[in-house]
Amino acid sequence: MPFTSASVMSPEGSSSSLGPADHGSLLDTCERALGRARGFQRPILASWSRPLDVGDPVSVWSRARRSTQRSFLWQSPWDGGSLVAIGSARALRGRGEHRVRAVRDGWRTLVKDLVTGGVAATGLPVGEGPLAIGGFSFRAENAYETGRLPDALMWVPALQIRSAVPAPGAEGRPVPAELRLNAVLLHDSDPEQVADSLVHLARLCLTPDPDADTERRKRRDRPGRTCHSTELPGAEAWKGLVRGATDRIRAGEFEKVVLAREVRVTASAPFDLPAAVERMRGANPGTTVFAVDHEEYTFLGATPEYLVQVGDRTVHALGLAGTTPRGATPEQDEACERELVGSAKIQHEHEVVVSMLRDALADSCTDVTAETPPQVVKLANVQHLSTKVRGRLAEDSTAGVLDLVEALHPTPALGGHPRAQALSWLADNEGLDRSWYAGVVGWADRSGQGQFAVAIRSALLDGPTASLYAGCGLVADSDPEAEYAETCAKLRPMMSALGIE
């Protein structure tokens, strides 16, 4: 396919053309990677970049995702940055107990001899160069294997766009961003064909399609779909599991366990995923909004909880455990908050999580601190106790964000404590394929920086079918009725985002 100048447009219509000079620079990068692939006799990652102005990342993602079976959207409240990733240059997979380590090792090998070109953008949030994006399931080995999502899947996108925080008062206008095109070259690759294919992908992803945008708006204006919901397990059976878990806790088998349930929804028409993402970010400020497309499945959510962030050798983790509902009035809301802060049960549940985070970070960090007292995070339907834990990587530490994911996941907020005993009980009793619910989703760069969110307030979708998940931390005096009501409150944001009545 011969190269012609590609006019790459932001959604607002401002032009950022990839011209002959860009193509020449991209081709040079691919040719240098080919030379290295032949010399080293192994695949070599080529990564080319240039600054770009883009508009709303969700608009870019919703248009671009149609061109591939694998895409990724990420909007973070931690640093305000956004990431849109389309296509796959190289997949990194793992399975079983050491799945995170397998992905980490594959990523380190891939970037060891990285070839770069173009011009990197400045002023972006933490992270540099090509990224590995994706996530990990809750369980190390999925006993209820359905083939829906892999145990561990991260990949290097063929196209990634990282954008900065809009300046105050500049919402709705293009913001500084970086376009990065990635490819893995083998000894027999055609560098010109690779370069032309990447430019073609950029054109598909970034050129506005007014007809498609109009059709999407029409689709959202159509009458609502009908839905049929099934609880897995049923409400009374799930409450029976709560009673069984608390019996085991009082018997001393473990201190805490996090029990989840699923609501499976079958709709009369496929769900409108871009509309769901827009509703999620509008209704859930302060959360990380994510969407992962993998083949026919989409995993998306708006989570208030992050597992770990690493930037400039500073490590941040978050303990989010202990929940009460929001009140219908300000007075009721304050009463619920007082109950949250004053409950010995909830304080104990929260401290179990924070202690584990402190101990885990101490293995690779110095100056580990946890804020006190816990803060109250208020979301649309519930409020949580939250504690930030911070550390600084030791001078001799080689740990990166994926090493910390392996050490921390799953925390007692997602599985229980002690970890092995709680997870064993769940494997024997929960009877639920959590897939990536209560797993982690995020990204890592080549220097070990990155961000990973805990994948709660989430759903797994396949056309007109959606699996929505929620769970609760159980301790000795947990009440089945109250815990069931808590899961109902946690399910509401995703039901609302998907338009499920």
Q: Decide: 9 and 16 in contact? Cβ < 8 Å.
A: yes
Contact assessment for residue 465 and residue 295, using Cβ atoms and an 8 Å cutoff: no
Q: Of 31, 262, 278, 305, which one is the catalytic site residue?
A: 305
- Residue 147: other Cβ atoms inside 10 A: 8
- Name which of 337, 493, 318, 457 is nearest 390 in CA terms: 318
Cα-based angle 171, 177, 179 (whole degrees, multiple of 5):
140
Q: Beta-strand (E) ranges in 186-296?
A: 227-232, 256-267, 288-294
305 is an active site residue:
yes
**Nearest one of 449, 436, 405, 453 to 131, comparing CA atoms:** 449
Helix (H, G, I), strand (E, B) or coil at 191: helix
Q: Answer positive or negative: Cα dihedral of 297, 301, 305, 308.
A: positive
Q: Confirm if 323 and 351 have CB atoms less than 8 A apart.
A: no
Encoding tokens for residue 170?
């500049």
CA 140 to chain centre: 18
Task: Round to whole Å and give the CA distance between 22 and 28.
Answer: 10
Q: Which amino acid is at 13?
A: G
Q: How far is CA 310 from CA 154, 218, 234, 444, in A?
A: 18, 42, 40, 9
Q: What is the dihedral of CA 343, 348, 350, 351, to 10 degrees?
A: 140
Non-local CB neighbours of 479 within 8 Å, separated by 6+ positions: none
For the purposes of burial, counting CB atoms within 10 Å of the CB of 367, is it exposed (0-12), middle (13-18) or buried (19 or more)?
A: exposed
| Three-class SS state of 322 | strand
Distance, CA of 83 to CA of 73 (rounded, Å): 6
CB atoms under 10 Å from CB of 224, counted, come to 11
Residue 426: name the closest of 168, 242, 206, 175 by CA: 242
Strand locations in 304-402, DSSP E? 306-311, 314-325, 365-370, 375-378, 382-393
Query: Going by C-beta distance under 8 Å and a sequence separation of 6 or more, which residues neighbour residue 224?
Result: 499, 501
From the candidates 256, 349, 483, 490, give the one annotated as an active-site residue: 256
Residues 6+ apart with CB under 8 A from 429: 241, 244, 245
Assess contact for 490 and 382: CB atoms under 8 A. Answer: yes
Active site residues: 256, 305
